[in-house]
Every structure is written in structure tokens, then in C-alpha cells.
Amino acid sequence: MRSLTELPKVDLHVHLESTIRWSTVREIAAANGAGIPEDGPPAAFAGFRAFADHGALIRGCLRRPEDFARVAVEFCADEAEHGVRYAEVTFTAASHEERLGRPGMPLESVLRGLAEGRDRYGVECRVILDHSRRRSVRRAWRTLELARRYAADGVVAIGLAGDESYPLAPFAEACAAAREAGVRLVHHAGEAAGPASVREAVEVGHAERLGHGFRALEDPELVAELRERAIPLEVCPSSNVALGLVPSLAAHPLPRLLHAGLHVTVNTDIPAVVGTTLTAEYARISTAFGFTEGDLGGLSRAAIDASFAPEGTKARLHREVDAWLADGEAP
């Protein structure tokens, strides 16, 4: 198989705070007097709570406008290095501004960094603002306010994330208001919790895409509904294994999701934490499941179609995938 770095790719499920290079974490933490583990992120986590605590430690290092802008620029550089042409990066803006007492600053700094990264590295990025299910409904409304205010600057969606044992129902009114305002909705569901969380995300949260969603397979009726409504899944194989939600890559339900006729995309989720890239994800699933270049091109196409990119961007990306596939067919 040819170098998969050259395959034009789209990353739809990736958390900015989990993309930060460890060398950058060290420098920012030192500049801000923040403490971090000396030996970097752990090789594995003892459950979702341990992972969430690690994430909170990293987020706490980010304090100045230049910190947020820097990690956004470096995100673009790292995505470009691995053939990503377009990304929708998730950022917990309302939490950061509340923590720092500086409304607007974290998001504005990230947007500035993404614009610089686009100009320098050619990666087109848009932003999804997430909100933890464990946090207040008031903060969720603030997340929606930020999404509406910065829509012209590249914020395309909001979504509920975090511990799926917490229901989405308390946020129903905010989700309905987002849909009414034309803000797209993408919720995490069906990762740590079962198919009921997926159904709630779709029926109560009006989800247009699902973060993870692989446990929908436990409910055949739900699978049929997702297939009929063409609701895409943002599948993140290495992340699922690292967090202990799937025992091994070989046991990952990705092939069964595809066989069920679901609209599946492959993404990195927390790349700096688990030590992956989108090129590595494509290579791993190719090895694990015998996927061909055509299969991987199809996954890239699925991500293009599932994205909230402008139609012109989608058309360009499809042409680039066409060219990659055609080059592989040349004698």
C-alpha cells in the first residue's frame, strides 16, 4: 500500500486540548507555574475518570492568549504533516473563559491560531464547542451564545461531551434553541454508555452526527434508524482501546458498523494522549481488518460528506481523493 500520508483526509472528532505536544505542555506549564507529570501522559488510563482528570491537568496549563493561539497553530502543523486537509476541532471554550475570568479570550485566541495555521500549513479548520454533561446548564447556554457570536469566524457546532452516565435531558432546551438558531449539534454518545445514550442524543439532543456511537450496535432497531436517517458516526479506534472501552483494535466493532450500512468516519479524538495520528489510524485499521486503498478512500469520502464544510470545500476534497485513488490505479 502507498504512503497513507498522501491520502487527503478529514478529521471530524479531535479535541484541541488533547492534541498538544508534550514539549509544548512542558513549556507552557513552566511559563505559567503549573504542575504536570514529569514523565508525560500515562500509557493507559484506569477508566474514563482517570482520563478526564489528566485532561483537566493539561487544560489548567493554558492561561494566556498566546498559549491558546500556539496550540491551535501547532495543531494545524501536525494535521498537515499527516495529510489532513480539513478538520473540525472540538474546544471547551466556555469552561476555559469561566476558569480564567476572561470572556471571549480563549476562543478568540484559538480562532486566531487556526487562521494562522491555515495560512501557514493549508489546513482548513472549523470549531465545535463542547460542554461536559457534568457541568451546569447555564454554561451550556453560554456555549451556545459563543457559537452564535463566532459563527462567522468558523464555529460551526456545539455538543454535549464528558461522562455519558449523566443524562442529556437537562440540556434539551438549549439543544432545541441551537437547532432553531441554525447551530449544528454533535453529541458524544454510545461510547461508555449504551444505545440509550445514542437514542437520547438523537431524539432529545437533535444530533446531526454522533461522537463515537459504536454501542448503537447493541440495538438493531436503533441501527436501522441511524442508517435510515444517515446520521454519521465519528469512530475513534485507538482512543476506544486506550480508554479500555474496547479490549483491542482487532476486537473493535468498526467492520460491523460498516457492514450494518452505517455512515462511518475514522478520527483521532485524543491523538497526543494515545500517541496516534490520522495516518496511523488509517494504517492500523488497514492492517487489522484488511482494508484496501479503495476502502480507506471510501472512509475519507464519508468524512468529507459528514463534515460541515462549505460545498466548495467538499467538492475540492472529493477531487483530491479521486486523484489519489486514480494515481494508485495507474500502471
**Chain center to CA of 39:** 26
What grid cell was written down for 53?
482528570
pLDDT, tens digit, 9 for 90 and up, residues 128-137: 999 999 999 9
Q: Which of 88, 191, 200, 293 is catalytic?
A: 191
* pTM score, whole prediction: 0.95
pLDDT, tens digit, 9 for 90 and up, residues 19-53: 999 999 999 999 998 887 776 776 667 677 777 77
**Sole residue written with cell 498537515:** 80
The SS3 of residue 26 is helix
Q: Would the CA dihedral through 214, 217, 221, 224 be positive or negative?
A: positive
Taking Cα atoms as reference points, which of 114, 116, 124, 80 lies closest to residue 304?
124
Question: pLDDT averaged over the chain?
Answer: 95
Examine the residue annotation and report whether 234 is marked as an active-site residue of this protein.
no
Taking Cα atoms as reference points, which of 270, 188, 280 lies closest to residue 18?
270
* 9-327 carries CATH number 3.20.20.140: yes
Burial class (CB in 10 A: 0-12, 13-18, 19+), 24: middle
Residue 298: partners with Cβ closer than 8 Å, 6 or more residues away: none
